[in-house]
Amino acid sequence: MSGQVATTDSFGYYAFDSVAGVLQVRATKDGYVPATRDVALETQHVDFMLRYDAPPSVIGEVYRLTFTAAPSCQLPDDARRRTYTATISSGGFDNRAIVTLSGAQFYTDSYCGPMNSFDALVHGRTVSLSNYAGDCGIIEELANMRHLSLWGGAEATLTDSTSTAAFVGTVAVVTSPTDPSPPNATCDASDHRLVFERIASPSRK
């Protein structure tokens, strides 16, 4: 088996057939630190967690973030375009980060706390935003007892000036985040837009 290679599928699974006498498996991917795992008697599950080969370079940066709903959306005027201040901070482990929004009034949930942040993964200057990993999302309080909900993800490569990314997900206007009744308006699309404009960088010694 020495020297044989398998490639993972879209779900991260791989397999070698007729395994015998294998002591170790090594995984590699461009941009990541290679990892080696010892193989036990039970050979069906040899799992890897690969780490990025460089620390995130956008931690501490601040951006003006503008959300624009997809052209096909039928939404109230004040829900079609929203602007926030987005601060990128460390998520406490490896390449995880938190993108926290400010500059607006956000709903506070008893479980989530202020609903004003995205979970993120960072590789260099590429930031992948998502709310799918947890129960919390973005809920902004609008006028007239309404709330704007953003739920989805985006991947943006941030520059020194302006960067644009597609936001894939759902934007909805609801009377109450805890009310199970249908939303006042909703739009599920893959061409919502996020625009990042850098306004501050971390101080570096």
Q: Is 53:33 a contact under the CB 8 Å cutoff?
A: yes
User: For strand 126-130 and strand 81-90, is the pairing parallel, antiparallel, or unpaired?
Assistant: unpaired
pLDDT digits (tens, 9 = 90+) for 144-174: 999 999 999 999 999 888 999 999 999 999 9
More confident: 48 or 134 = 48
In contact, 160 and 198? CB cutoff 8 Å = yes
Written as six digits, the tokens of 28 are 């590699």
Nearest to 147 by CA among 76, 99, 68: 76
| C-alpha to C-alpha distance for 112 and 117, rounded to whole angstroms | 10
The model's pLDDT over 55-101, given as tens digits with 9 standing for 90+, comes to 668 999 999 999 999 999 999 999 999 999 999 998 877 788 999 99
What is this structure's pTM? Answer: 0.74
Cα–Cα nearest to 163, from 26, 61, 89: 61
Question: Domain segments of the chain: what residues?
Answer: 1-53, 62-200
